[in-house]
Structure 1
């Protein structure tokens, strides 16, 4: 009896006289799912040295929150209120801040490498843009920062020098 080319001599009910070898699929790890918070209020909270990564914040409030030395690499902030938040020395590498209010936020010494200060298309003009008017950026690491259509970027950038 001739062996079927893919059966390796196992019994096959077919014309070849043995059963075809079953292919085993490689086990794949489940896709990574990121946690998300929506509408949470962290106003005035002490979040010094908090550590999280790849967390999605939507419409969260961090007004006057203390986020000094926080590690929030790869996090996404969409339509969040970070007015007067203290982010001195925080790490936001690769984070996305879309449509966020950062007026008066203190980002001195923060690592903003690869941060995308974006916007959210809300259909209403001037709404959904990130605003960093009066934010303090002196000593911040701004390598590969994207900042198209950011309100107050020029005045904040003047603070860097």
Structure 2
């Protein structure tokens, strides 16, 4: 099912099953996606913050496995504790987004895991990516200015053509 050009204000999507849906040119202002099932959901050219707001939408503890965000405005969004294995962010504004304790890995055993994320052409400036594991992922052409990467692991990820500020390079 596809939803086109719809505006949601203060809408509560928490605990809802929105899997396999497509939203195109939609606006979500102060909406709550906490604990929502957004698996395989696609968002194209959507806005998740209103100009002048200091807080974006909440995706805390949401199931975002294999979800796709393309050309979306997600500044100040909160993805803490979300399951983001296989997520795609293409040409998105993620400035100031919170990814603390976000899971981009699939745990196979106590010692074996696989990471999967496709984040390219995005503005990750001032995002909180503290202690995230994004190993062997596509992370090219992103802006990382002022991004908090303390304790993060980006081993063997493609960081080519990215724009960095020295302070965030300590974790790479």
TM-score surpassing 0.5?
yes
Mark the structure with the bigger radius of gyration: 1
From 23, 34, 37, give the equivalent of 1:48.
34
Equivalent residues in 2 for 1:82-101 (5 A)? 82-101=74-93
Aligned residues: 117
Query: Cα gap change, 1:158/1:141 in structure 2, threshold over 3 Å: closer, same or farther?
Result: closer
Deviation at 1:157, TM superposition (A): 5.6
1:110 maps to what in 2? 102
Structure 1 residue 49: Cα displacement: 0.6
What is the CA RMSD across the aligned residues, in angstroms?
1.7
* TM-score scaled by length of structure 2: 0.63
Consecutive unaligned residues of structure 2, counting only runs of 5 or more, are: 1-19, 50-55, 105-114, 153-170
Aligned to 2:62: 70
Residue range with higher mean Cα deviation, 142-151 or 86-95: 142-151
- Contact 1:109-1:141 at 8 Å conserved across structures: no
Runs of 4+ in 1 over 4 A off after TM superposition: none
Q: Describe the SS at the equivalent of 2:23.
A: strand
Further displaced range: 134-143 or 74-83: 134-143
Picking from 25, 49, 57, the partner of 1:39 is 25
The 1-side partners of 2:77 and 2:89 are apart by 14
d(CA) in 1 for partners of 2:26, 2:60: 19
